[in-house]
């Protein structure tokens, strides 16, 4: 069997040509392509503002910093460390809660139980491309006057009752090579709040309210005045050029992921020891990852079996946050039984738009063959 990687970025000649044009232009730092990318992205999300930057982690960090949140931020333990790192490095206090094992997303009831008079925000992680229970979470946030920051790194195009993930308050997205679109490395922050957007833009570029590109139109473009201390979290014009081309085909890329996921479910749906992610009525999954739960005792053996057959299965995420040394002392708003169950039994199977149906079938055959080797 040919090797099947976990993910292959969908980069074509359009992206390559766009990058070449930028390189030849001589304008490599933040520039015109950033503005194009941001405009396209804001239109897609339905937000008034989109700010491109170097990672989703930076977007999460700047969301907290711009909102001046230094109190408690509720987040799941079942996530990548970037979620909690952003909270800590922004000077806020993470409070971890458990998930629902069917959706892999935070349990809204446990969110509400974890709220104290020190709670200022909920950082929602949409796991693998499936939006969390946003209708319920929005109710909780409104009731307790909390801000919502959506870690939508894995959920570009996911929807709940027609509303797109990342459009509720502040949305943060990733363009890492495994994501639904990629710029290699990169992120985006979305919001309808003009003052917040202006503050984020300044914080992203050394605290200076104008960009180098925009200052070129002014009479004295060399004047650079910082309004606050900031970071260098900017995305280059080169990477933004890739993003522009990726946005032109985001719907097609997500459609391909939908078809691959449906094929997996069709081929593995009769196995009683395999649990799929449950998609609630009215929700649309963007399938950044395709994950299954298997019995704990089978998980590592099955991954080894797949890898021996040149299938790059992986795990997202084990161990969970609360079991890693830097975060063990963080306050937990609940027990972590479901998180620990899922972390120890989950497998990520390959999924990317250019996968052939035959690739999915081959993977499913190897999974089914595992029964005879266990």
pLDDT in tens, 114-166: 999 999 999 999 999 999 999 999 999 999 999 999 999 999 999 999 999 99
Residue range 27-64, pLDDT digits in tens: 999 999 999 999 999 999 999 999 999 999 999 999 99
- Tell me the mean pLDDT in the region 172-199: 98
Measured CA to CA, the distance from residue 109 to residue 107 in angstroms comes to 6
Q: Provide the pLDDT for residue 219.
A: 65
Is position 179 annotated as part of the catalytic site? yes
First to last CA, the chain: 21
User: Looking at per-residue confidence, does 323 or 214 come out higher?
Assistant: 323
* CATH architecture label of 13-249: 3-Layer(aba) Sandwich (3.40)
Q: Alpha-carbon distance 359 to 350, whole Å?
A: 9
Is residue 337 pLDDT above 70, yes or no?
yes
Residue 138: partners with Cβ closer than 8 Å, 6 or more residues away: 148, 168
In the chain, which residue ranges form alpha helices assigned H by DSSP? 13-25, 32-45, 56-66, 81-89, 108-114, 134-144, 194-204, 212-215, 237-247, 250-268, 296-308, 337-345, 357-373
Average pLDDT over residues 217-231: 81
Q: Are strands 170-174 and 187-191 parallel, antiparallel or unpaired?
A: antiparallel
The structure tokens 């081309």 sit at: 245
**Does 374 have pLDDT greater than 60?**
no
What is the pLDDT, as a whole number, of residue 235?
A: 98
Distance CA 283, CA 159 (A): 6
- Quote the CA–CA distance of 281 and 145 in Å, as a whole number: 27
Is the model's pLDDT at 90 over the cut of 80? yes
Is it the case that residue 371 has pLDDT exceeding 80?
no
pLDDT at 226: 86
Confidence of residue 342 (pLDDT cuts 50, 70, 90): very high
Would you say the CATH fold of 251-373 matches that of 13-249?
no
User: pLDDT value at position 116?
Assistant: 98
Is the pTM for the entire model greater than 0.75? yes
Mean pLDDT, residues 178-187 taken together? 98
% residues pLDDT > 90 (the chain): 93
CB 204 within 8 Å of CB 234: yes
Average pLDDT for 213-232: 79
Cα Rg of the chain (Å, integer)? 21
164-191 per-residue burial string, b: 16 or more CB within 10 A, e: under 16: bbbbbbbbbbbbbebbbbbbeebbbbbb
The predicted pLDDT at position 128 comes to 98
Structure tokens at 231: 């970071």
The values of phi and psi at residue 4, to 5°, are -120, 110
pLDDT of 295: 97
Tell me which CATH code domain 251-373 carries. Answer: 3.90.1150.10
| Res 223: pLDDT | 76
Q: Which of 33, 48, 143, 179 is catalytic?
A: 179
> Is the predicted pLDDT of residue 211 greater than 90, yes or no?
no
What pLDDT was estimated at residue 274? 97
Mean pLDDT in the chain? 96
Compute the distance between CA of residue 53 and CA of residue 239 in angstroms, rounded to an integer. 10
237-247 and 13-25 helices, crossing angle to 10°: 150
Q: Which residues contact 9 (CB under 8 A, 6 or more apart)?
A: 177, 182, 352
Mean pLDDT on 103-118? 98
Report the C-alpha gap between 105 and 119 in whole angstroms.
20
Output the pLDDT for position 169: 98
How far, in Å, CA of 83 to CA of 123, rounded?
8
pLDDT digits (tens, 9 = 90+) for 237-247: 999 999 999 99
Identify the weakest region by mean pLDDT among 40-54, 212-226, 293-307, 323-337.
212-226
CA distance 81 to 327: 9
- Tell me: pLDDT of 217 over 70: no
So what's the pLDDT on residue 220?
Answer: 77
Quote the pLDDT of residue 193: 98
Is the pLDDT at 373 greater than 70? The verdict is no
Determine the Cα–Cα distance for residues 287 and 304; give it in Å rounded to an integer. 24
In the numeric block, which tokens belong to residue 200? Answer: 């984020």
pLDDT of residue 368: 96
Domain spans of the chain, in order of start: 13-249, 251-373
């Amino acid at each position: 069997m040919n090797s099947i990687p976990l993910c292959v970025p969908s980069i074509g000649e359009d992206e390559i040509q766009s990058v070449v044009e930028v390189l030849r232009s001589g304008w490599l730092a933040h520039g015109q392509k950033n503005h194009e990318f941001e405009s396209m992205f804001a239109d897609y999300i339905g937000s008034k503002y989109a700010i491109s930057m170097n990672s989703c982690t930076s977007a999460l960090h700047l969301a907290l910093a711009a909102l001046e949140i230094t109190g408690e931020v509720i987040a799941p333990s079942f996530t990548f460390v970037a979620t909690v790192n952003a909270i800590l490095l922004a000077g806020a206090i993470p409070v971890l809660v458990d998930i629902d094992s069917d959706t892999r997303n935070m349990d809204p009831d446990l969110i509400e139980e974890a709220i104290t008079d020190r709670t200022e925000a909920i950082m929602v992680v949409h796991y693998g491309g499936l939006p969390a229970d946003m209708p319920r979470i929005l109710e909780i946030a409104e009731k307790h006057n909390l801000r919502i920051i959506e870690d939508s790194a894995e959920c570009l195009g996911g929807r709940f009752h027609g509303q797109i993930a990342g459009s509720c308050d502040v949305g943060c997205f990733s363009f890492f090579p495994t994501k639904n679109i990629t710029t290699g490395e990169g992120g985006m922050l979305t919001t309808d709040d003009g003052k917040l957007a202006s503050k984020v833009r300044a914080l992203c570029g050394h605290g200076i309210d104008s960009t180098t590109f925009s200052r070129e139109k002014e009479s004295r473009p060399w004047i650079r005045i910082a309004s606050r201390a900031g970071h260098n979290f900017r995305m280059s014009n080169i990477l933004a050029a890739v993003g522009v081309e990726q946005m032109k085909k985001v719907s097609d890329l997500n459609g391909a992921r939908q078809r691959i996921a449906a094929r997996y479910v069709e081929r593995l749906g009769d196995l009683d020891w395999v649990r799929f992610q449950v998609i609630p009525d009215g929700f649309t999954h963007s399938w950044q990852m395709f994950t299954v739960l298997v019995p704990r005792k089978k998980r590592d053996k099955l991954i080894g079996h797949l890898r021996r057959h040149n299938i790059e299965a992986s795990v997202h995420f084990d161990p969970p946050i609360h079991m890693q040394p830097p975060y063990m002392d963080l306050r937990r708003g609940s027990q972590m039984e479901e998180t620990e169950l899922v972390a120890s039994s989950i497998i990520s199977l390959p999924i990317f738009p250019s996968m052939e149906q035959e690739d999915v079938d081959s993977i499913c055959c190897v999974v089914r063959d595992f029964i005879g080797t266990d």
